[in-house]
Structures are given as structure tokens and as C-alpha cells.
A and B are shown apart, each in its own frame.
Chain A
């Protein structure tokens, strides 16, 4: 089972510089970057703690072999070049020469092998499922790593980002109790910034890595991540100049239009392509009459998702067309229409087995936007003649109810990790429907045909074959409406326009501030 890192909109922060931000002028060195971090991370050792805020801060400290541009195309990071064999079974990475960890020790292929084969296998369940497909890892020399797979696995090239595969120093961790190693408090990576100081409840201070292997980078001298627990105070902190970057989700959606009007303020909704956060409503197919496809289709057509996008998300994001986010690989746009059509919805509901039963709708307890959204959905469904009751809950209660399948409809959103085999199939495979987890096939969607095709598509070596398979899968799933897809969420990053390049990869601010510079002219 893949473990989603589902963290409130709050989670991700600044990203690397990219083609989207204006590249005006020569980069200038120096300056301090002040960023909001929300909520305060539980730890910074990225191989062990995986929360959204951890990924954001630790993305400056740790690096992986690759990173991904906004089209999810791999770029070299610690790897200089890489090669995939014809049969899709052998992945060979050539590492950069002269890379050192923050404590001065050189980074070698032994560290890669230790990280992937030993450390992350033990600490990161998501990485473990990928590594189970690897037969062996060879290190012919200090700068070459070879992964030998048991079967072709197309998505494999997509797992080398800092959250899934952060490179861990072997000389510090080998043979120790990973989770309780005191070194976890002073994380050591290869990244552009080094850990400075962490004043709990106040800020995390990172300082420039003077020995960084990229000439001249990073440009900024230091980064402060400020912990500000209240959304309104975070907005004020930006207005008063205390912070310069508001990562996606750190202010309430209602505040975004006001803040974006401020002087010298830029906004981008890029930097989420890898995660492709997609929101939907779980439909509990164990409960009657929700097992009736007509009821589900009626509900789907009853939802005015454009209204939700405009009224609740200030027009940010996209109306979803099916189980894949449009930024995920193998997305097919031409699936059956699931748009807003209350007349059709009413007709479908009349033909269905729905008989005025009360449907319990569980909202997502992540703040005002989600609460209003649940109210809007309830109203949409009421208007086609359904009887809907909102069920209040807190985060723990939500997890419990969804894990126990104690709901009829429940809001959620999950990340897709760029590939349907990594982040989508887990939601629809009948083999992944055991109660007890709020992140698996919660709806209990059972379709042997799509099961089989998901299995096959993950193992196809040719991208064209995979595209054809996933297109069929998407058509079939959209016709069955196992879930009510809502929006591809847009979490805008807000920053001062003289801060250049805060977001330039598919992971946005999570990829660290390697390329950021501050224009002081």
C-alpha cells in the first residue's frame, strides 16, 4: 500500500527556480529568505519523518538523484546522467563528482545503495513498495549505481525525488537505530542549505552550504522558516514584511485575492504537478443505495464544481474530469462527460433505486473552505431530491470514520506522485480495499477488469502501450463513478516579485531554494 502524505493545504513551501519565474537580470548573491512553515514539522530527518512541512524544510537539506520539471521530465540532481536499458530492467545512474555531505564526507554510490536498500526500506513504507520490485543494486565504482529490476516497472524513473528517495549519509547511520539516532536532530544531507538552529514554536534557521557542488549556488545566505500557527496572522506577517514567501495553503483562500493585490506581490499555482492533488468524495459502495451506479451518476451530475472552484477556491485549480489529475502521466481528457447537469441528475435519480434514504456526508475538517464546500455539496444534492445530513468531525474522527467505513459520502484529497501506478491505482484496486486505512480503496470499488489492466499497465515497458491501457481504464472508471471527483486543487505560492525562481520544478517549494535569488535593485 502506498502511503499518502496528506497534509493540509498548508504543507508545501518554496521551490527551486524555474522557467516560469522571470529570469530577468543576473542572479545576485546574498540576502535572507523568510518563509512561512505551517504547521511546525515534527522533525527534519526526511528519511524518517514524511509530513508535508518536513518535506518542505528538509528539501533544502536533502537531495535525491533526480528532480522533475513541470512536465515531470527528469533532470539530473545528484545524478549527472542515467540510462534505462531497452528491456526496462536496468537503471544505471552516473553520480556527480565532488559532492560532499554537510559534514565534509564525500557522497558516493555506497550512500545510494545504503539509502535505497537499507535505510528507506526500513523507514518509508512507500519507498519499500517500490524497492520490492528491485532485485539488486550494484555499485561498480564510487560514482556508478545500477538498479536491477525483477520486471519492467515504468514509474521507477519517477521515484527519485527528495521526499521518496532522499540520500542519507551511510557513515552516520549504518548499524544504528535509525529512528532514535541523535543525528536526526541535526540533519546532514548534500543540499544547498545546512541545518542551523531550530527554536521550537518560533523558527527554523538554515544557512548556506558554502561547499555546495554547483558553482555560485545557492545565492541566498540563509533561510528562516517562521512558525505562525494562525492563518490570519500569517497573512499579516506577509503584509508587514516579516515573511516574503507564503507557500501554497498557508493563508485562507478568501485572503488570496486581497493579498495578491498588494504591491510587489507575485503568485503562481505551479509546483504541484508531481503531487497532482486531486479532491473527491468517497462513495461508500457497501451501503445501499450507493451501490447503484445510477445514484452515483445522479450525484456526480448534481455537483456544481465550477461554482465551488470560483466561490471557494477563487478560481484556482481545475474541475476534475476523472480519476487522474491532468498533470499526471497518461491523463486522458476525453473521458465520458461528468459535468454539472441538474436536470439529467434528477432524471437519473428517479430511475435509480434511491428512495429518500438519509445520506450522511462527512466533510474534511481542514478549515473553513472545506466546511463551506460540504455545505455547498449538500445543497447541490438536496436540490436534485436527495436527503443529505452533514456529519461533523475533527481530524482524528475523520480518519477513524473513513478507516472504519462509517460514512456514506466523505470528502478527501490525495496526491498522485506523477504516475497512475504510484498514486492512482491504490484508490481503485479491489485488492486494496480492506477497511482499516483511510487512504486505500475506501469506496470498495470492485472491478476485476480494471484490476487486471492496472496490474498490466504498471509493468508495460513502452509508454505508448501504457497510455492506451490507462485511457481504457479511465473510460471504464469514469462510467462507473466509484467516487465523485471534484477539483484538481490549486495551492498558490505567494511571494514578493523581487524573489526570483521560488518555484521551478514539479515539486515546487519542496525542492528547496537552490536557484532562488533576491533582486535588491
Chain B
């Protein structure tokens, strides 16, 4: 662990990313305490510019709602969607990839064709179709994002497992009489974990972007204040109140950037043999 942290710290960008993400997480957790009122509450006159009112630092939107409160509550939604949909996507992708890679042959063929079927459909278009069929609610947004995000996981895990299954320690485990399930769970997957963790951190970022895009198009849950919704609602007034789209846009940018930086740091720390030595 100490070794891991040392290598992670070596990547300065990753540390900055971690700090930003920590701030976002802190905001998300503190939002209900800092802004106990609903972010939908209309508190002041509409279109109040930032830094003109002592209590409303970032001003108000088209209905006089507190922008800062919206950003804070939106952080919670974005992180929630990012995390949960990634977990769901992993829950689909890891077993599919592991089974395909371990058993090869016909199992591999069937599972990989299925994966490719999903991969050939543009993921954003598929997410829109799914949400058009179901009601756009938070649950379905998460499901839609998970459904379009799992194929890369499956392919990555399959690749890792394919190379691991021929190693000596797997053969040793087979000889010692362990069943396939035990071998996959206790010997193969733990060794594939570093690659999965790195991919997962990037998937969280991807999911946040996807949720924002969907909300921007009006396909998000209309009862939930998210960053994408804030930008979508503000885009018609971009010429008169540019900050209403700019501020949540910055929030998305910073969070996604932070997650990408962390992903890179994790890669350095978890896959040391691949790390560029020159740095």
C-alpha cells in the first residue's frame, strides 16, 4: 500500500485530480447541510448575476433559483450516477469477460458476439433510445448508462483473463483440485484487478459526461437538479446570461478532468512495469 501511494504521488497530475475530486465529494456530501433548501426553490429575482448578492454568490437562474445550491446538489447527482452506473456496468462486464476469457471456445464466441452487438451501436444513440422507451427517471438513466458502458469492460477483462489462464499459478491451482469458480474468483480476477480499477475510474468520468449530455437534451429525470440539466435549461439564454451555462460546464469539466488524472495515476501506481521510466 505504501509502495502504491508512493508511485501514485509520483504523478503530480493525479494528486491534483485527487484534490479536486475530494472537493467535489465534500461538496456533494455537504450540500444538504450547506443548502438545506431545495435547489428548485425560487429565492430571488431571475437572472441575478454572480457576486451581486451576499447570500447568493453565483446568482440565480431563469426562475430565480440559487445557482450555487444547484451546483452543490448537482455534484451529488453526478457522482451518484457516475458511481452507480459504473458499478452496474462492472457487474455485467466483468462476469461476461471472465467467462469468455476463461472458458474460450463456444462460450467465448457467444459472449463476444453479444458484446460486439452492443458495441456496434453508438452508445449515446442507444442510451437515448432506451430513455425514450422508458420514462426518464434517475433509475432508468443509470440503467441506460450502464447498458451502454459494459462492453469495453467485458473486452478488457476477457483479454486479461486470456493471458492469465495459461500462467503457472493457474495450472497449479487446477492441479490442486480447485473448481473453475474458485480459480476465477480467487486467482484470475484478483490479478486482473489493476486494469479494471483504472478502467473504472475512466468509466465514472464517462458516465458523468453521458448523464450530462442526456439531461442537456432533456432526457434526464426532470425532478432532479443535475449539471447537465442546468446547462440545458440555460442554453437558450446563453447570449444574455452566459454564466448560467458556463458555471455548471466548468463543474463538469473539472470533475471529469480530475477523474481522468486519477485514472492515469492509478495506472502508474498499479501497473508499474508499464510506467514511463523517464518521468
Question: Residues of B contacting A254 with CB < 8 Å?
Answer: 62, 236-237, 240
Q: Give residues 349-391 of A contacting B (CB, 8 Å).
A: 363, 368, 371-372, 374-376, 378-379, 382-383, 389-391
Question: Residues of A contacting B236 with CB < 8 Å?
Answer: 231-232, 252, 254-255, 368
Question: Residues of B contacting A258 with CB < 8 Å?
Answer: 239-240
Whether B64 is near chain A, meaning CB under 8 Å from some CB there, is: yes
A382 to B236 Cα, complex, angstroms: 26
With A258-B239, A391-B135, A392-B136 as known contacts, state yes or no: A311 contacts B222, CB within 8 Å.
no
B48-71 vs A, Cβ < 8 Å mask (1 yes, 0 no) = 000000000000001110000000
- Cβ of A368 and Cβ of B42 under 8 Å apart? no
Q: Please report whether the interface of chain A is mostly helix, strand, loop or mixed according to DSSP.
A: helix
Whether B41 is near chain A, meaning CB under 8 Å from some CB there, is: yes
Q: Give residues 188-230 of B contacting A (CB, 8 Å).
A: 218-219, 222-223
- Cβ of A311 and Cβ of B40 under 8 Å apart? no
Q: Across the interface, name the chain B residue whose C-beta is closest to A307.
A: B42
Question: Residues of B contacting A391 with CB < 8 Å?
Answer: 135, 222
A375 to B42 Cα, complex, angstroms: 10
Pick the contact of A311: B41, B62, B223 (CB < 8 A): B62
Pick the contact of A392: B63, B64, B222, B240 (CB < 8 A): B222
Question: Residues of B contacting A390 with CB < 8 Å?
Answer: 222-223
A307 to B44 Cα, complex, angstroms: 11
Q: Across the interface, name the chain A residue whose C-beta is closest to B41.
A: A379
Question: Residues of A contacting B42 with CB < 8 Å?
Answer: 307, 376, 379
A363 to B233 Cα, complex, angstroms: 15
Whether B38 is near chain A, meaning CB under 8 Å from some CB there, is: yes
Q: Give residues 103-133 of B contacting A (CB, 8 Å).
A: none
- Cβ of A372 and Cβ of B233 under 8 Å apart? yes
A446 to B7 Cα, complex, angstroms: 75
Interface contacts (Cβ under 8 Å), in number, total 52
**Nearest CB of chain A from residue B237's CB, rounded to whole Å:** 5
- Cβ of B239 and Cβ of A376 under 8 Å apart? no
Most buried by B among A258, A382, A389, A392: A392
A252 to B136 Cα, complex, angstroms: 25
Whether B272 is near chain A, meaning CB under 8 Å from some CB there, is: no
Q: Give residues 375-414 of A contacting B (CB, 8 Å).
A: 375-376, 378-379, 382-383, 389-392
A258 to B240 Cα, complex, angstroms: 8
A374 to B218 Cα, complex, angstroms: 14
**Nearest CB of chain B from residue A312's CB, rounded to whole Å:** 8
With A390-B222, A390-B223 as known contacts, state yes or no: A382 contacts B38, CB within 8 Å.
yes
A312 to B62 Cα, complex, angstroms: 8
Pick the contact of A389: B218, B223, B237 (CB < 8 A): B223
- Cβ of A311 and Cβ of B46 under 8 Å apart? yes
- Cβ of B46 and Cβ of A375 under 8 Å apart? no
- Cβ of B237 and Cβ of A392 under 8 Å apart? no
Pick the contact of B40: A232, A255, A312, A378 (CB < 8 A): A378
Question: Residues of B contacting A231 with CB < 8 Å?
Answer: 236
A392 to B136 Cα, complex, angstroms: 7
- Cβ of B136 and Cβ of A375 under 8 Å apart? no
B7-19 vs A, Cβ < 8 Å mask (1 yes, 0 no) = 0000000000000
Q: Across the interface, name the chain B residue whose C-beta is closest to A378.
A: B40
Pick the contact of B218: A232, A252, A375, A392 (CB < 8 A): A392
A238-260 vs B, Cβ < 8 Å mask (1 yes, 0 no) = 00000000000000101100100
Question: Residues of A contacting B222 with CB < 8 Å?
Answer: 363, 371, 374-375, 390-392
Question: Residues of A contacting B136 with CB < 8 Å?
Answer: 392
With A307-B42, A311-B46, A382-B38 as known contacts, state yes or no: A392 contacts B233, CB within 8 Å.
no
A307 to B236 Cα, complex, angstroms: 20
With A232-B236, A252-B236 as known contacts, state yes or no: A375 contacts B63, CB within 8 Å.
yes
Question: Residues of A contacting B239 with CB < 8 Å?
Answer: 258
**Nearest CB of chain A from residue B243's CB, rounded to whole Å:** 15
- Cβ of A372 and Cβ of B223 under 8 Å apart? no
With A254-B240, A311-B46, A311-B62 as known contacts, state yes or no: A368 contacts B40, CB within 8 Å.
no
A236 to B105 Cα, complex, angstroms: 61
B229-248 vs A, Cβ < 8 Å mask (1 yes, 0 no) = 00001001101100000000
A368 to B135 Cα, complex, angstroms: 19
Q: Across the interface, name the chain B residue whose C-beta is closest to A253.
A: B236
Pick the contact of A379: B38, B46, B218, B240 (CB < 8 A): B38
- Cβ of B40 and Cβ of A371 under 8 Å apart? no
Question: Residues of A contacting B135 with CB < 8 Å?
Answer: 391-392
Question: Residues of B contacting A375 with CB < 8 Å?
Answer: 40, 63, 222
**Nearest CB of chain A from residue B209's CB, rounded to whole Å:** 21
A390 to B225 Cα, complex, angstroms: 12
A255 to B240 Cα, complex, angstroms: 9
Most buried by A among B62, B218, B233, B240: B62
Question: Residues of A contacting B41 with CB < 8 Å?
Answer: 379, 383
**Nearest CB of chain B from residue A400's CB, rounded to whole Å:** 13
- Cβ of B40 and Cβ of A379 under 8 Å apart? yes
Question: Residues of A contacting B63 with CB < 8 Å?
Answer: 311-312, 372, 375-376, 379
A372 to B222 Cα, complex, angstroms: 10
Q: Give residues 148-200 of B contacting A (CB, 8 Å).
A: none
Question: Residues of B contacting A389 with CB < 8 Å?
Answer: 223
**Nearest CB of chain B from residue A309's CB, rounded to whole Å:** 12
A389 to B41 Cα, complex, angstroms: 15
**Nearest CB of chain A from residue B137's CB, rounded to whole Å:** 9
**Nearest CB of chain A from residue B4's CB, rounded to whole Å:** 45
A392 to B133 Cα, complex, angstroms: 12
A263 to B176 Cα, complex, angstroms: 88
A307 to B45 Cα, complex, angstroms: 9
Question: Residues of B contacting A374 with CB < 8 Å?
Answer: 222
**Nearest CB of chain A from residue B44's CB, rounded to whole Å:** 11
Question: Residues of A contacting B219 with CB < 8 Å?
Answer: 392
Seed contacts A311-B46, A311-B64, A379-B40; 16 additional CB < 8 Å A-B pairs: A231-B236, A232-B236, A252-B236, A254-B62, A258-B239, A311-B62, A311-B63, A372-B62, A372-B233, A375-B222, A378-B40, A389-B223, A390-B222, A390-B223, A391-B135, A392-B136
By Cβ-Cβ distance, the 9 closest A-B pairs, closest first, are: A390-B222, A311-B46, A392-B222, A254-B237, A379-B40, A368-B236, A392-B136, A390-B223, A252-B236
Q: Pick 16 A–B contacts, CB within 8 A, sort by A.
A: A231-B236, A232-B236, A307-B42, A311-B62, A311-B64, A312-B62, A368-B233, A368-B236, A374-B222, A375-B222, A379-B38, A389-B223, A390-B222, A391-B222, A392-B218, A392-B222
Which residues of A line the B interface, CB within 8 A? 231-232, 252, 254-255, 258, 307, 311-312, 363, 368, 371-372, 374-376, 378-379, 382-383, 389-392
